[in-house]
Amino acid sequence: MSSKQHETIYLEDYQPPAWLISHTELRFELEEEQTLVRAQLRIQANPAVADKRKPLELFGDEGMELSRLCIDGQILEASDYQREAGCLRINNVPESFTLECVTRLLPHENTALEGLYKSDGMFCTQCEAEGFRRITFFPDRPDVMSIFRTTLVADKARYPVLLSNGNPVDTGEDGEGRHWVTWDDPWPKPSYLFALVAGDLALLEDHYTTTSGREVALRIYAERKDLDKLDYAMQSLKNAMRWDEEVYGREYDLDIYMIVAVDFFNMGAMENKGLNIFNTSCVLAHPRTTTDQGFQRVEGVVAHEYFHNWSGNRVTCRDWFQLSLKEGFTVFRDAEFSADMNSRTVKRIEDVTLLRTAQFAEDAGPMAHPVRPESYMEISNFYTLTVYEKGAEVVRMLHTLLGAELFRKGSDLYFERHDGQAVTTDDFVAAMEQVSGRDLSQFKRWYSQAGTPRLQVHDDYDPQSGEYCLTVRQSCPPSPGQDHKQPYQLPLSVGLLAEDGTELYTGMLELTEEEQQFRFDNIARRPVPSLLRGFSAPVKLEYDYTDEQLLMLLRHDSDGFNRWDAGQRLCIRLLQEQMLRYRDGLAMSCSEALVIAWRQLLTDESLDPAMVAQCLRLPSEAQLGELAERIDVTAIHEAREFMRKALAQALEQEWLQAYQRCDTGDDYTADAEAIGRRSLKNLALSYLMAAGREPWLELARQQYEQSDNMTDQLAALTLVAHSEFRETADELLQAFYQQWQHESLVMNQWLAVQASDPTEGALQRVNSLAQHPVFDARNPNKLRSLIGAFCGQNLASFHAEDGSGYVWLADWILTLDRQNPQVASRLLTPLTRWKRYDQGRAAQMQAQLQRMMDTAELSADVYEVVSKSLV
């Protein structure tokens, strides 16, 4: 048994704060061996809370040394306060007073990367969700908002740049080579938005004029060697600022907007007020070192963090159960931004693929929780696909139900009504209710019920009367703590197509009941329904399509998303058939109808290459697993590989032509059109490689050697590295290492390519990579590239029948848990799905979870996931 008991926090126990902090003044003495933090808090009893005799309780990490505590200048004796389990309690305090507190921190020893830590020699912070309590004692909860004034003192030569939130208001020299800067943030904010950075950083500067004429300095900081990789982030930032003004009427509210790139970071980026801190992987971009995917991620994350300035910072969360209030909304906002900047349909396809593959799996697993969870042990475990991606789908449904105009009125009302407040998802929905006059109480079940709803659709057609009827049944499987679900309100976007593809009806149906019928008159012939267009709700839709109907939709549906989806449905069905044949020891085969349909797509030069590439991509092994009752890793892998090869060989000439057509030799640009062309080109190359003939290996090698951009170089490398041509694979991997060993982000890709290589001996390879000098087990990006890629993308190897992959992962988790619990807990996810696998694998996965459970001293992060998975 784990010796430590971890407490569960419940939404229903929420109490408003007893104490408020109007002003927070911080002084950081940053030194090599330690940092002293002097905090002065102006504290008042909260007039809205009745019980004024409550002691003052502040959060503070157990490991933090308290070296001085004063109230209104009076030093407190040890007997005046108690420290226990992450809390400091002071009895008998006045109604209003100043608390002074000095803490001593050891940032260089902070491997959890929460609170104040060092990344490659620079100081930086990560406070969301509860990192501020590792810096000083504080009511570290989002509903306590305070005005911060921060002074940083540090050695000038080592740390010439000293940054915090807001505007710099004073600066000076302190003797002995030390200097200081004071920053003032005029906007009250919760402590999770506090940030500081101290380092020797280079800077790209630009400026932006808001619609109302405010001048904003834009500064992106990074290590000097990365200065040439900041232009794209800067352009993305300016685009995002303009977009938020045009689409949401939201302007920026400070004189400076800063982004700092750091290499050691647990997540993608953080929206600290006026001082975003970014994982280098989400801000640095250069054609030579960054793939198209990387560019799009930079654009999306820069926008996401910027949009938080309103959806998150100006209006924040009352408590962490409301996390989706800011995250779901902001993901919806950044998705719409990316859709406007690039191809809307492609963006939608990518997002839905992520949702179907990973969020649906989360919703079906032991950690399933509602978009607004009801309880947690460790809030870091709830920065999930459900809170983010499903949360965004919930906001999207509101947008669909209300229409763009009312939704905008609702968001205006929400921002205006709650500016400067810490609120709830109910407040967000209330604003939408008020502007639309609609009762959204049923809709709110999307926030409180977990699980992926299922829609079963049947139809009837009466040729005599011309009446067509759709019957829709909705249900939702049980999830932890929720056995029965109430029906949801959701928009079901529908088209009815004649057999030749003519559109007979287009519209939006609204579901509210468990079973509902929708009738359509004057339909001359039995139509083919195009259902859930644009993925209008995050559900699993079942309708008994024939292959012919799917092929017709793939060709003619006016909804681009559903055109793609029809093709995917067909592929999934055909793959599932082959999986059964493989299991029964029968020969697998590839449908001729599919080959014909793909040939048509591949040779039609009028089509958008990006869409063609999406349509000709087989669903991933992970997605096929999510769809399976019981996941048969080997059958999925074999069936998919068979199909890939069959389609490769059947269309070899067409793949080559498509490759040549898309290989334009133009200079690299990161716009949607060029990205689409490269994606079709590299997809074609992947099928050519799957065809397995020498000339295509040469073509891949040529692309590897001649490309001037990382997208093409890495695509070629990956294909060769994952092929049976081991000699060339080793040669190119070695060449790649030689070329890029000094580019940390490129080396992450190099690790990931090898970790996801499904060929024989994968575990041995990752084991030796873990000893390689470019690998650093303290850097979360490296861990994700090696461990995350092996366990998440190399499914056949991770799930090796002897259980070696599971033991390997569990060993890592146990080591990492002592160092960085957040990262350990996240990497653990694949093991939590043990119930979905065959008995042999399930038992071995469960045994590894049990081994972790039996370990003394698990962090709350890992304990929560392990214990819930074992139930």
- Which residues belong to the active site? 305
d(CA 260, CA 701): 37
CA atoms within 13 A on the CB side of 216: 24
Tell how strand 196-199 and strand 161-164 pair up. antiparallel
Task: Give the contact letters, 367-396, x = binds to ligand B3K (CB under 6 A), - = no.
Answer: -------------x--x-------------
Looking at 584-725, list the stretches that DSSP marks H as alpha helix, in order from N- to C-terminal side.
592-603, 609-615, 621-627, 633-650, 652-662, 672-691, 694-706, 710-721
d(CA 592, CA 650): 9
CA atoms within 13 A on the CB side of 8: 11
Looking at 788-838, list the stretches that DSSP marks H as alpha helix, in order from N- to C-terminal side.
789-793, 795-798, 804-817, 821-827, 829-832
Q: Could you say which of ligand B3K, Zn ion, none residue 270 binds, taking C-beta under 5 to 8 angstroms by partner kind?
A: ligand B3K
Q: Could you say which of ligand B3K, Zn ion, none residue 383 binds, taking C-beta under 5 to 8 angstroms by partner kind?
A: ligand B3K
Q: Which residue stretch of 199-207, 304-312, 390-398, 599-607 sits at the interface with ligand B3K (rule: CB under 6 A)?
A: 304-312
Q: Could you say which of ligand B3K, Zn ion, none residue 380 binds, taking C-beta under 5 to 8 angstroms by partner kind?
A: ligand B3K
> CB of 460: closest distance to Zn ion in angstroms?
45
CA nearest 791: which of 809, 810, 767, 814? 809
Both tokens of residue 182? 């004071």
Task: Give the contact letters, 224-263, x = binds to ligand B3K (CB under 6 A), - = no.
Answer: ----------------------------------------
Residues 128, 223, 654, 712: which binds ligand B3K (CB under 6 A)? 128
d(CA 199, CA 215): 26
**Which 329-358 positions form the footprint of Zn ion (CB under 5 A)?**
330
Residue 327 binds to ligand B3K (criterion: CB under 6 A): yes
Please give the residue whose beta carbon sits closest to ligand B3K in the complex: 128
Residue 820 binds to ligand B3K (criterion: CB under 6 A): no
> CB of 351: closest distance to ligand B3K in angstroms?
15
Q: Could you say which of Zn ion, ligand B3K, none residue 335 binds, taking C-beta under 5 to 8 angstroms by partner kind?
A: none
d(CA 418, CA 329): 15
Which CB atom, from 56 or from 394, has the smaller least distance to ligand B3K?
Answer: 394
Q: Could you say which of Zn ion, ligand B3K, none residue 267 binds, taking C-beta under 5 to 8 angstroms by partner kind?
A: ligand B3K
Strands of 191-313, DSSP E: 196-199, 202-209, 215-222, 256-262, 269-270, 275-279
CB 772 within 8 A of CB 651: no
> CB of 108: closest distance to ligand B3K in angstroms?
21
Q: Which residue stretch of 12-20, 267-275, 534-542, 586-594 sits at the interface with ligand B3K (rule: CB under 6 A)?
A: 267-275
Which CB atom, from 179 or from 304, has the smaller least distance to ligand B3K?
Answer: 304
Which CB atom, from 371 or from 769, has the smaller least distance to ligand B3K?
Answer: 371
> CB of 194: closest distance to Zn ion in angstroms?
16
Which CB atom, from 305 or from 559, has the smaller least distance to ligand B3K?
Answer: 305
**Which 20-49 positions form the footprint of Zn ion (CB under 5 A)?**
none
Tell how strand 178-190 and strand 145-155 pair up. antiparallel
Beta bridge partners of 180: 153, 172
Residues 25, 271, 334, 632: which binds ligand B3K (CB under 6 A)? 271
> CB of 656: closest distance to ligand B3K in angstroms?
43
d(CA 730, CA 25): 56
> CB of 297: closest distance to ligand B3K in angstroms?
13
d(CA 755, CA 768): 11
Q: Which residue stretch of 302-310, 553-561, 594-602, 653-661 sits at the interface with ligand B3K (rule: CB under 6 A)?
A: 302-310
CB 230 within 8 A of CB 237: no
Q: Which residue stretch of 265-273, 419-427, 717-725, 812-820 sits at the interface with ligand B3K (rule: CB under 6 A)?
A: 265-273
d(CA 50, CA 32): 46
Which CB atom, from 129 or from 216, has the smaller least distance to Zn ion?
Answer: 129
> CB of 128: closest distance to ligand B3K in angstroms?
4
> CB of 257: closest distance to ligand B3K in angstroms?
15
444: DSSP letter: T
Residue corresponding to tokens 């019981």: 630
Residues 118, 133, 229, 304: which binds ligand B3K (CB under 6 A)? 304
Q: Could you say which of Zn ion, ligand B3K, none residue 351 binds, taking C-beta under 5 to 8 angstroms by partner kind?
A: none
Which CB atom, from 19 or from 132, has the smaller least distance to ligand B3K?
Answer: 132
Both tokens of residue 168? 């710099």
Question: Helix (H, G, I), strand (E, B), or coil: what is residue 415?
Answer: helix
Q: Which residue stretch of 89-97, 201-209, 264-272, 287-295 sits at the interface with ligand B3K (rule: CB under 6 A)?
A: 264-272
158: DSSP letter: T
Which CB atom, from 387 or from 597, has the smaller least distance to ligand B3K?
Answer: 387
**What is the arrangement of strands in the sheet containing 65-71, beginning at the earlier edge strand?**
74-75, 65-71, 96-105, 35-45, 19-30, 145-155, 178-190, 167-175
d(CA 160, CA 36): 19
Residue 130 binds to ligand B3K (criterion: CB under 6 A): no
> CB of 39: closest distance to ligand B3K in angstroms?
22
Question: Helix (H, G, I), strand (E, B), or coil: what is residue 588?
Answer: coil
Q: How many residues bind Zn ion (CB under 5 A)?
A: 2
Q: At what angle do helices 744-755 and 762-769 cross, to 10 degrees?
A: 160
Residues 30, 161, 254, 267: which binds ligand B3K (CB under 6 A)? 267
> CB of 512: closest distance to ligand B3K in angstroms?
32
Residue corresponding to tokens 């799905």: 833
Task: Give the contact letters, 313-332, x = binds to Zn ion (CB under 5 A), - = no.
Answer: --------------x--x--
Q: Could you say which of Zn ion, ligand B3K, none residue 128 binds, taking C-beta under 5 to 8 angstroms by partner kind?
A: ligand B3K
CA nearest 157: which of 204, 199, 202? 199
Q: Could you say which of ligand B3K, Zn ion, none residue 129 binds, taking C-beta under 5 to 8 angstroms by partner kind?
A: ligand B3K
> CB of 154: closest distance to ligand B3K in angstroms?
25
Spatial CB neighbours of 482, under 8 Å, sequence gap ≥ 6:
370, 449, 450, 451
Q: Which residues bind Zn ion (CB under 5 A)?
A: 327, 330
Q: Which residues bind ligand B3K (CB under 6 A)?
A: 128-129, 267, 269-271, 304-305, 308, 327, 380, 383
